[in-house]
Amino acid sequence: MAGKLVCFLVLWFKLTVGLRQALDKPNIIIFLADDMGYGDLSSYGHPSQEFGPVDQMGREGMRFTQWYSAALFCTPSRGAMLTGRYPVRIGLYSTSKQIYLPVFVPASRFGLPKEEVTMAEALRDLGYATGMNGKWHLGINEFNYKDGNHLPMHHGFDFVGTTLPFSLVWRCDNTKKLLPIPDRPFCFLYSNDTIRQQPFNPHNLTSTLLLEAKSFVYNHQDEPFFFYFSFPQTHSNLFSSEDFKNSSRRGPYGDNVNEMSWAVGEMLKLLRELNLERNTLAIFLSDHGPEREMCKEGGSADPLKGWKGTSWDGGVRVPAIAWWPGTLPADVTNHEVISSMDLFNTAIDLAGGTPPTDRVIDGRSLKEVLLQGGKTPRETLFHYCGKHMMAVRYRQYKVHYHTQNLLTANELSEFCGPTSIPDKKGRNFCMDCGGTCVTTHDPPLIFNMDQDPKEEYPLDPQEYKDLLEDVERLLSEHKATMVMGKPLLNDLDKSLSPCCNPPYCWCNYSPVHTTGKI
């Protein structure tokens, strides 16, 4: 009898703890794709991409049609998402006249400032276990080639698995399409704060990341946790494990999407196996628009205009899905205007905390949008390119003060040539924030995004004077709160570039997982 009572009490305790966690501190997982376009998923209208677990995630949850990145490139968009602040406040922009750098590179001296509060730090203070793996791209070294002072463990992540502190780039391609050998100063794989491979072979990297993420969830299943699963897909250079090569009729890019989607599905499957799905909010999204200058190696923003590096909607509107069985309604499409910065406030709100009050926070909590189907908490969204304010989204309207010039379909075809590798043929693929890449509009261009999401038919500014006055007032109010941080993307020092064994920078201390599926 006593034994049965003990078993009953243990079961009651577990159920009580589980219920408390579900109501008070839900687990949070962010799946972040790299350079995936708005039109890259089957559920977002791609005609040849296979329906996969990410699409199924949308059927079981909430799919957003007007979710926006806070920036046009990886470093500023990721910094904004993790802090809930516009990148210009943080200093994630460049003012260099010698070379335009929109992101941190291996030789960058700075990183995400430590005085910024990240989502991981805020949740850790609220009792969460925190972890991440995959792409970081928010700084590496500060004083020498191996100090790692800007890496994730200094920003609230207690567990840091296999990471790409920089990114995948063509300079790391090991198929000899562009280079005879990879450019080692740009090609390295870390575990926590230590280089494990330089250069690295990415082809089974997804399985390694998945195994680590599963282990983290399993190890922390009895406490609230936050995990940031930052995929290297779909940034060039594209890679796939043997199990996913030729899996898509779309080609290598589709293989890339299928493998990433499979990994997301495996994580959701694990949550179900551990009975954690009803107290876990999982979000899938992309950091910004697709890398069209990579031609067949880049994604699709269809039906939107523009791509990565532009403030047209194709550069900033991204696919986004929220999944929380039993809490969020299934198979719902949400058309509210959302920013990736809103994840910061949302996570803290759901965890029972409050955002920092000693600084301007640009994010808004999506708690009512998610739990009650409420309206968006934001009326405006400001689109920056570097330090330049390009456009304002106000309710259903978008007002462009400056726009990046786009190649026509014929010019893009000529730029790309007959292969999947870019062939510039003397043309410039504009991805700058000023100069000849940008056109200034006075009066500004106005689009009704509900009726014209392709931004094809500008409205007559004479008929929208009241709207423009409202936007000018809101813009003035926004500028009054804007104290730009010191530009952090300017300073480079080649001696800071990671190197596992100087001067060779060539090593393989810890091979990644060697099979495609686990």
In contact, 262 and 269? CB cutoff 8 Å: no
Pick the catalytic residue from 137, 154, 155, 402: 137
Pick the catalytic residue from 7, 46, 74, 400: 74
- How many CB atoms lie under 10 A from the CB of residue 263? 23
The strands making up 380-385's β-sheet, listed across from edge to edge, are 380-385, 388-394, 397-404, 438-448
Q: CA dist 157 to 120, 216, 227, 229, 445, Å? A: 6, 12, 9, 12, 42
Interatomic CA distance for residues 270 and 518, integer angstroms: 12
The token pair that represents 365 in the structure block = 């909590």
Strands 159-164 and 388-394: unpaired
Interatomic CA distance for residues 472 and 119, integer angstroms: 32
Treating both helix axes as pointing N-terminal to C-terminal, what angle do 205-219 and 252-273 enclose, rounded to 10 degrees? 20
Q: Catalytic site residue 137?
A: yes
Q: CA dist 374 to 57, 225, 368, 378, 463, Å? A: 21, 26, 5, 12, 31
Q: Catalytic site residue 441?
A: no
Q: Look at residues 230, 171, 228 and name the one whose alpha carbon lies nearest to residue 200.
A: 171
DSSP for 84-107, written as a single string: TS-HHHHT-----SS---SS--TT
In the three-class reduction of DSSP (H, G, I as helix; E, B as strand; rest coil), residue 482 is classed as coil
Q: How many residues are recorded in the chain?
A: 518
Sequence-ordered list of residues with C-beta below 8 angstroms from that of 242, at least 6 positions apart, any chain: 203, 516
The token pair that represents 78 in the structure block = 């990721």
DSSP for 323-360, written as a single string: E-TTTSPSSEEE---EETTHHHHHHHHHTT----SSS-
Rg (CA), the chain: 23
**Residues annotated as part of the active site:** 74, 137
